[in-house]
Amino acid sequence: MKKGASLEWSKVDGSGPSKVLSGSEWQLTTSDGQTAYQITDSTKSVESVKIYYNGADSPESIMMKDGIPFDLTASVFGTDNKTDGVPQGVAWTATGSVVVDDNGKVTAVNDGDGTVTACSLAAMNICATVNVTVPTGTIIKPTPKNSTTFYFKADGYTFGNTKLHYSFTPDDTSSWKDAVMTSAEGCTGYLTVTIENPDLKAVTYLFYQGSNWYHKDNSPDGNFATDANQTVATVENYKAVSTAPSGCSTGGGSGSGGSTTTGTVTISGSTEVGLNKSIKLKATTDPANDTITSWSSGDTSVATVTSDGKNATVVGRKAGRSTITVVTSSNAMASVTITVRDDSTINVYFQKSTVNWKEYYLHYQPKTGTNWPAVKMTDAGDCSGYVVASIPKANVAANHGYYFRNGNSPNSDGWYNSNGQNAEGDPFKFWSGTYTDMYVNTNSDKQPTKPKSCQFASSAAKVRARVSTAVLKSSKTDVIAVNDAEGSGTSAAPIVYSCGDAKGKCDMDTRAGYFKVVDLEDGTYTLTEMVAPNGYSIAGPYTVTITTTNGVTSVSIKNANGGSIANSKIPNTRNTGTISWNKVSSDSNNGKKLSGSEWKLTKTKNFGWNATTGKAEYADIASDQQKPIAITDCVPAENKAAAETTCSAPAGAAEGRPYDVDPAAGQFKLKGLEWGTYTLVESKAPDGYDVDSTVRKFTFGPASGSDGTGQWNSNGVASAAGDATGNFTTSPANYDSSVFNFSVGDIKNQPGVVLPATGGTGNSWIYATAMAVALIGVVAAGMALKVRRRQ
């Protein structure tokens, strides 16, 4: 089982904490800032576990050869028999003749049969088991050394604090020694300790704890003593006997009878090796003339070993761990665990002058998984005119895609790919083969090597490129990337490990919106939300503190203000909607925006999550409970331009009440609209125009029946014939941040019969001209009639 602490939290709706939200993604960063774990919400259930031996499917039974340890690995599969998105942690256990450590290293402890089992940490009832047989005579028993074992039982004397005080030559006061006693196995209440006694001499002894001494016969001058050749002594009620308590091992013992092990061996050398690189190991034997009979690897798919006597060469074959074991002609054995790491990087250079952005980000498709990391690019130093990002070579696959972007705003439209700055273009493709540097000058000028302008002799070029902080790009939202201060050349960003990496951490709770990260060391971490659930704003960061005192582990999560996160429920704030429109004339010859209109905004349905199903639903607001809000046109202040004008809420308006925030006359924008259904209707037209009494309806929030991961309400405007403006439409659509931005466009008004006092001239000049002509005609006719009468 994993021995570190577990960190658990859930992601909830800040407006309705009973609703657990799926789809968030996180980074957990160590306090030194050097290591970060990418945590993605695991929602795929565990279906099976498979054990591998030497990189291949494990047989049902493994015969352990010569008692040499070997390594097993395991993978966890989901319903589609794939590992992608399924938490990969397992707990190893063993029974019978073998033991297994947390990393799958199997060691024989007795001859006979045993089993090794791997169970998913996310579903402990789903396991795989392999049988292991240790042939008779395999276990090498070291030569027993002569010793004497003591057992002691007395009220108030406890293990760890009680000591045996003894001497082989009691008259020599300098010869007395102390040995700490521990709890004896198999015989409750007794303490025990075994001391080496090569010649099985008589031992004079007594016990003490602090300032309390335990003498023979409870006499201050009474010492206990063993006879020569005595191997065990038990003291109780101030008396000693030469036998072990019932149930206890007989302890001690003589070396007579011989052994199959007559020497020792140790291994020295590095315990880490790079992928496709080698290290040297050396065996040291005692006696020195002992020869080596074998070197072996516990997992040949991870590391292989070749030898020349006491020297061996280990080559890393793939990332992972393998136990390297040496055996001597005297049957002495030693093992060391070698870790194969692939920390090498590929440096991706991009020529800045190609697009001249303020910021540059590399987005790339990883070798496994569907989430695209986004890495902030920094100035390339001696590669003048370039930015660079360093990404783990192990995470790069030939023909997988990558492209560049100009920032981390979800609405950013700066992209560069195989079609240049066409956001709809195809990504570039990584080359096949082996390379550590690559550059892109333009979409037609790129190579898997360093740019020509790089100064190869520079010592800076020899420094291992740092891996920038990576965050996730999902299909549902754009990337929000975090990195150290721009231009910093000394503050190395952390290496980010994903769930599939050997050093990665996975979400072990497959319930959507719930997280569990296991095997964490004590310390302080920063928990940062990198991608929020659909429709919500990113929260945090949070400080996680793990402490263990007297075997009891405590885990706390606190926000930036130091407040504790109640029940480990981390809330997200809902994004709010924005609607904008223009008031114009239906006359195509008049392109001016019309000021002076007034509107009424009314919320008619409230949004909520169904308490039983967790699905979105909209409830009607009773007509007498609806609260229409008057919206007036914010216009530039007198003698001020729109850019110099700041719109504000009407005097006395309640906090959060929507109002027009667009200072241009005839342009409207309402922000901060909560999820729900609204109606918008014109209540006053611009001077000289007829009121458009159309009641237009729109909705912000998840589509009815959706759990938030599905479709969302998207608003639009229906087409209309002639000079009319179509009604609003609301339909379900796949989530995109644009669902919160309803840009209506123009809402047209028909001119009336009254000359406009402000705004555009409309069509009214036609009617005014006709009336003037008619009036002139009447006057002319009257004058002609008067002349005739005079005649």
H or E element in which residue 785 lies: helix 764-790
H or E element in which residue 788 lies: helix 764-790
Asked which of 346-355, 434-443, 451-460, 576-585 is least confident by mean pLDDT, the reply is 451-460
Report, in this order, helix, strand and coil percent for the chain, each rounded to 5. 5, 45, 50
Question: Which among 415, 435, 454 is the end of a domain?
Answer: 454
Cα separation of 699 and 443, whole Å?
A: 42
Q: How confident is the model at residue 562 (pLDDT cuts 50, 70, 90)?
A: very high
Same structural domain for residues 599 and 549? no
Q: What is the pLDDT of residue 641?
A: 79
Q: How confident is the model at residue 555 (pLDDT cuts 50, 70, 90)?
A: very high
Q: What is the pLDDT of residue 771?
A: 52
> Does residue 95 sit within a domain?
yes
Is the per-residue pLDDT at 468 higher than 60?
no
Asked which of 90-99, 375-384, 751-760 is least confident by mean pLDDT, the reply is 751-760
Q: Which two tokens stand for residue 234?
A: 């038990």
Full-model pTM: 0.61
CB of 250 within 8 A of CB of 144?
no
Average pLDDT over every residue of 148-177:
89
469 or 315, higher pLDDT: 315
Question: Which among 535, 551, 572 is the end of a domain?
Answer: 572
Is the per-residue pLDDT at 639 higher than 90?
no
For residue 38, give the nearest of 745, 529, 624, 698 by alpha carbon.
529
144 or 479, higher pLDDT: 144
Average pLDDT over every residue of 223-249:
89
> Does residue 252 sit within a domain?
no
Residue-wise pLDDT tens digits, 583-620: 999 888 887 999 999 999 999 999 999 999 999 999 99
Average pLDDT over every residue of 290-306:
95
Residue that the structure tokens 């291949």 belong to: 56
Same structural domain for residues 597 and 561? no
Q: How confident is the model at residue 261 (pLDDT cuts 50, 70, 90)?
A: low
Q: How confident is the model at residue 460 (pLDDT cuts 50, 70, 90)?
A: very low
Same structural domain for residues 105 and 124? yes
Same structural domain for residues 583 and 720? yes
> Does residue 142 sit within a domain?
no
Same structural domain for residues 321 and 390? no
pLDDT above 90 covers a percentage of the chain that reads: 50
Q: What is the pLDDT of residue 367?
A: 80
Q: What is the pLDDT of residue 784?
A: 46
Q: How confident is the model at residue 218 (pLDDT cuts 50, 70, 90)?
A: very high
Is the per-residue pLDDT at 148 higher than 50?
yes
CB atoms near residue 591 (< 10 Å): 9
| Whole-Å CA distances, 264 to 226, 255, 585 | 32, 17, 98
Residue that the structure tokens 């010592």 belong to: 459
Q: What is the CATH number of the domain that holds 57?
A: 2.60.40.60
Q: What is the pLDDT of residue 409?
A: 47
Residues of the domain holding 363 = 345-454
The DSSP output letter for 709 is: S
> Does residue 781 sit within a domain?
no
Residue-wise pLDDT tens digits, 523-547: 999 999 988 899 999 888 999 999 9
CB of 203 within 8 A of CB of 169?
no
Is the per-residue pLDDT at 759 higher than 90?
no
Average pLDDT over every residue of 683-694:
93
Q: What is the pLDDT of residue 422?
A: 79
Q: What is the pLDDT of residue 585?
A: 92
For residue 461, give the nearest of 453, 470, 473, 469 by alpha carbon.
453
CB of 349 within 8 A of CB of 380?
yes
Cα separation of 586 and 495, whole Å?
A: 60
Same structural domain for residues 584 and 706? yes
Q: What is the DSSP string of 746-784?
A: EEEE-B-SSPPSSS--TTHHHHHHHHHHHHHHHHHHHHH
Question: Which among 134, 166, 187 is the end of a domain?
Answer: 134
In the structure, how many helices (H) and strands (E) does the chain have? Answer: 1, 58
Residue that the structure tokens 């005649």 belong to: 791
H or E element in which residue 786 lies: helix 764-790
Backbone φ, ψ for residue 462 (5° rounding): -90, -10
Q: How confident is the model at residue 500 (pLDDT cuts 50, 70, 90)?
A: low
Cα Rg of the chain (Å, integer): 40
Is the per-residue pLDDT at 3 higher than 80?
no
Q: What is the DSSP string of 250-265?
A: ---B--TT--S---EE
Residue-wise pLDDT tens digits, 415-431: 899 988 877 788 999 99
Average pLDDT over every residue of 304-332:
93
**Exposure string for 39-66, b = 16+ CB within 10 A, e = fewer:** bbbbbbebebbebbbbeeebeeebebeb
Across the chain, what does the average pLDDT equal?
A: 84
Q: How confident is the model at residue 702 (pLDDT cuts 50, 70, 90)?
A: very high
Q: What is the pLDDT of residue 95?
A: 94
pLDDT above 70 covers a percentage of the chain that reads: 85
Q: What is the CATH number of the domain that holds 525?
A: 2.60.40.10
Is the per-residue pLDDT at 573 higher than 90?
yes
Cα separation of 55 and 50, whole Å?
A: 11
Q: Which two tokens stand for residue 307?
A: 């030898």
Is the per-residue pLDDT at 463 higher than 70?
no
Asked which of 299-308, 483-492, 558-567 is least confident by mean pLDDT, the reply is 483-492
Q: How confident is the model at residue 481 (pLDDT cuts 50, 70, 90)?
A: very low
Q: What is the DSSP string of 563-585?
A: -B-GGGEEEEPBP-EEEEEEEEE
Is the per-residue pLDDT at 174 higher than 60?
yes
> Does residue 593 sit within a domain?
yes
Same structural domain for residues 178 and 67? no
Same structural domain for residues 120 and 229? no
Backbone φ, ψ for residue 460 (5° rounding): -65, -30
CB of 609 within 8 A of CB of 13?
yes
> Does residue 459 sit within a domain?
no
Residue that the structure tokens 């315990």 belong to: 271
> Does residue 424 sit within a domain?
yes
Q: What is the pLDDT of residue 762?
A: 45
Is the per-residue pLDDT at 159 higher than 50?
yes
Q: What is the CATH number of the domain that holds 430?
A: 2.60.40
Q: What is the pLDDT of residue 398?
A: 86
Q: Which two tokens stand for residue 594?
A: 């019309």
Q: What is the pLDDT of residue 570?
A: 96
Backbone φ, ψ for residue 706 (5° rounding): -85, 155
Asked which of 289-293, 312-316, 361-365, 652-656 is least confident by mean pLDDT, the reply is 652-656
Same structural domain for residues 70 and 31? no
For residue 658, give the nearest of 580, 745, 726 by alpha carbon.
580
Is the per-residue pLDDT at 455 higher than 60?
no
Average pLDDT over every residue of 725-737:
91
Q: Strand, helix or coil at 218? A: helix
Strand partners, 632: 598
Same structural domain for residues 68 and 159? no
Q: What is the pLDDT of residue 331?
A: 85
Asked which of 150-154, 182-186, 726-730 is least confident by mean pLDDT, the reply is 182-186
Average pLDDT over every residue of 383-398:
85
Q: Strand, helix or coil at 739? A: helix
Average pLDDT over every residue of 95-106:
91
Is the per-residue pLDDT at 480 higher than 50?
no
> Does residue 649 sit within a domain?
no
Same structural domain for residues 586 and 734? yes
Asked which of 115-124, 597-606, 767-776 is least confident by mean pLDDT, the reply is 767-776
Same structural domain for residues 190 and 299? no
> What is the number of domains present in the chain?
6
Q: Which two tokens stand for residue 545?
A: 């503190």
| Whole-Å CA distances, 213 to 163, 209, 236, 495, 552 | 10, 7, 14, 57, 33
Asked which of 34-43, 260-269, 359-368, 431-440 is least confident by mean pLDDT, the reply is 260-269
Q: What is the pLDDT of residue 604?
A: 97
The DSSP output letter for 789 is: H
Q: Which two tokens stand for residue 526?
A: 């920063």
Q: What is the pLDDT of residue 252?
A: 55
Q: How confident is the model at residue 259 (pLDDT cuts 50, 70, 90)?
A: very low
Cα separation of 727 and 59, whole Å?
A: 68
Average pLDDT over every residue of 550-579:
93
